[in-house]
Amino acid sequence: MQFNILPGGAMSGEARVPGDKSISHRSIMLGAIANGATRVKGFLEGEDAMATLAAFRAMGVEIEGPNHGNVTIHGVGLRGLRVPAEALDLGNAGTGMRLICGLLAGQDFDAELTGDASLCSRPMGRVIDPLTMMGANIQSASGGRPPLIIRGGQQLRSIHYELPMASAQVKSCVLLAGLYSEGRTSVREPGPSRDHTERMLRGFGYSVQSNQDAIALVGGGSLKGCDIDVPADISSAAFFLVAASIAPDSELMLTHVGINPTRIGVINVLRLMGANITFHNKREVGGEPVADLHVRSAQLKGIDIPVDQVPLAIDEFPALFIAAACAVGRTILRGAEELRVKESDRIAAMAEGLSTLGITNEVLEDGIIIEGGTFGGGVIKTYHDHRIAMSFAIAALRATGEITVLDCDHVATSFPGFDSLARSLGLQIHTAAS
């Protein structure tokens, strides 16, 4: 599938984007190992979260739905998962694979984790290393890549782990393995990363201690099923925050968006660039802060992106690169090496697309320099990365020619219905067979 987008247009209206992918993943995992039923509203019915759901069904967990975002998980307790009949296929879900590694490390059965070509090219050493320190037995393909075979029956040890970089996936993996270890497992991170796992564990009644930059729990407890209301995903909202900022005469209201302080780097960066974004009806739902986001078009300016905002906006940088290309002056990003090991090398893929559309940029080892300019038309390669596809789709709002975005099938991993919602809000987007 490809997107064909005509140039120009304005964004207007009100919308609720799909549920948060990170929270959807975790709701299935923790609901599965809890005692009793967990009822989830707003579950993201995208391919990544559905792959996680299918994996736990394959391990014997009864799950009803999803039905219009409603899911009921009948938890089996910490020790109730069963050996799957075949390899667990996580598709394109890196979050799903890395977090499930932590849970599987403490089971008494062997399991294999695999995924699509993109996922099987992504490094898993960052979770294999600390799990091995805890006593896990994990075999991988060359370079620490999937498929992974996790041997059961290992007695896990609690550890204190110093994260080499801020990573919610690694932190969460270690904490989930810590549920199955003896004693106190703690993680210290060099900077903030999303804290959905800690918040949700507490929501399930599990004690998690946090002080300064260390997070700790004691293994051997239990989780109690609960109700979860998944906020709209700020990573999905980011495309429309940028779209309404760069397109003249635009005004959007995005409702029920998660504004967890570890996730709002995209808003912080856009505001530093001059974006007009305001919060309305701020509230807390199931332990997660949410708000309605009102955004109006604004003249953006180039900035040096603060390093402390990088981990808070790591998934939103493809969209922010489009904002930078529409800004007056130069935008500089550093400290974002993590972008090179996402679904694609997002620095290289975005730089190539920006160049195709006539935007001057310079690739750095850990970031990029983007000179604000004018988009032309062109054909964009996405390297099967959903965020690359959606980012260049919204670029058409400020383009002088039609933009064709190839290989957009993976958009459904995080944002099913992106094209139809974008079209209803003013983007002149149409889909066609590749």
How confident is residue 328, by pLDDT bands cut at 50, 70 and 90?
very high
Same domain, 194 and 300: no
CB 176 within 8 A of CB 150: no
Is pLDDT of 433 > 90?
Answer: no
Average of per-residue pLDDT across 201-209: 96
């005509």: which residue's tokens?
A: 6
Rg (CA), the chain: 21
Cβ neighbours, 10 Å, residue 21: 24
How confident is residue 282, by pLDDT bands cut at 50, 70 and 90?
very high
Same domain, 175 and 274: no
Is pLDDT of 434 > 80?
Answer: no
Is pLDDT of 342 > 80?
Answer: no
Same domain, 25 and 71: yes
Average of per-residue pLDDT across 414-419: 92
CA dihedral 104, 106, 110, 114 (to 10 degrees): 20
Same domain, 57 and 203: yes
Query: Of 229, 253, 287, which residue is a domain's last?
Result: 229
Same domain, 357 and 224: no
Same domain, 15 and 25: no
Percent of the chain with pLDDT over 90: 89
Same domain, 9 and 80: no
What whole-number distance in Å separates Cα of residue 393 and Cα of residue 243? 10
For 239, the token pair is: 């495309």
Q: Rounded mean pLDDT of the chain?
A: 95
Average of per-residue pLDDT across 306-311: 92
CATH number at residue 270: 3.65.10.10
The C-alpha angle with vertex 20 and arms to 126 and 103, in degrees rounded to 5, equals 40
Is pLDDT of 115 > 80?
Answer: yes
Per-residue confidence (pLDDT) for residue 286, from 0 to 100: 78
Average of per-residue pLDDT across 314-339: 95
How confident is residue 205, by pLDDT bands cut at 50, 70 and 90?
very high
Residue 227 bears catalytic tag: no
How confident is residue 74, by pLDDT bands cut at 50, 70 and 90?
very high
Per-residue confidence (pLDDT) for residue 285, from 0 to 100: 85
Terminal CA-to-CA distance of the chain, rounded, Å? 5
| The one catalytic residue among 48, 89, 229, 315 | 315
How confident is residue 70, by pLDDT bands cut at 50, 70 and 90?
very high
Per-residue confidence (pLDDT) for residue 344, from 0 to 100: 79
CB 247 within 8 A of CB 301: no
Is pLDDT of 212 > 80?
Answer: no
Per-residue confidence (pLDDT) for residue 165, from 0 to 100: 86
CB 26 within 8 A of CB 223: no
pTM score, whole prediction = 0.88
The C-alpha angle with vertex 47 and arms to 88 and 315, in degrees rounded to 5, equals 105
Per-residue confidence (pLDDT) for residue 194, from 0 to 100: 87
Is pLDDT of 325 > 80?
Answer: yes
Is pLDDT of 75 > 90?
Answer: yes
Full domain range(s) for residue 139? 21-229
Query: Of 185, 203, 229, which residue is a domain's last?
Result: 229
Per-residue confidence (pLDDT) for residue 338, from 0 to 100: 83
